[in-house]
């Protein structure tokens, strides 16, 4: 099973419940999304400009990286939307079952 299939396998209300109840400690970043993206871009850009001070060379090396990041962004957005739909369907089914039992 590849790592993307594993994401979908974990898209389960009970898995999320276990995480919320028992958790896994991890670091969080409370900065706004835009700030986090800007800081990462500044660090990336500064590092590449160090090795490629000529703007044409910089753009030539940076463009494939931007293209790669765009694909990754699109794939994970699609995964997130699909996982959200799976969880919404599970929630609806759980509510239906709960109300049928009353």
DSSP 10: T
Reported as a single tens digit per residue, the pLDDT across 23-65 is 877 778 899 999 999 999 999 999 999 999 999 999 999 999 9
pLDDT reported for residue 8 = 83
pLDDT reported for residue 9 = 83
| Residues contacting 94, CB < 8 A, separation 6+ | 13
Largest CA distance in the chain: 71
**19 confidence band (pLDDT: 50, 70, 90):** confident
pLDDT reported for residue 102 = 65
Contact, 51 vs 57, CB < 8 A?
Answer: no
Where on the phi/psi map is residue 26: left (φ > 0), alpha (ψ -120 to 50), or beta? beta
Name the more confident of 38 and 5.
38
Reported as a single tens digit per residue, the pLDDT across 77-102 is 999 999 999 999 999 998 898 888 76
Give one DSSP letter per residue of 15-32, joined into a string. Answer: HHHHHHHH--------S-
Name the more confident of 63 and 15.
63
């Amino acid at each position: 099973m590849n790592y993307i299939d594993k994401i979908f396998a974990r898209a389960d209300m009970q898995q999320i419940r276990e995480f919320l109840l028992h958790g896994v400690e991890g670091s969080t970043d409370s900065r706004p999304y835009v700030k986090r993206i800007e800081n990462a871009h500044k660090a990336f850009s500064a590092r590449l400009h160090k090795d490629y001070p000529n703007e044409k060379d910089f753009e030539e090396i940076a463009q494939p990286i931007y293209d790669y990041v765009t694909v990754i962004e699109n794939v994970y957005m699609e995964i997130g939307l699909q996982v959200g739909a799976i969880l919404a369907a599970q929630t609806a089914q759980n509510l239906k079952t709960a109300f049928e039992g009353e």
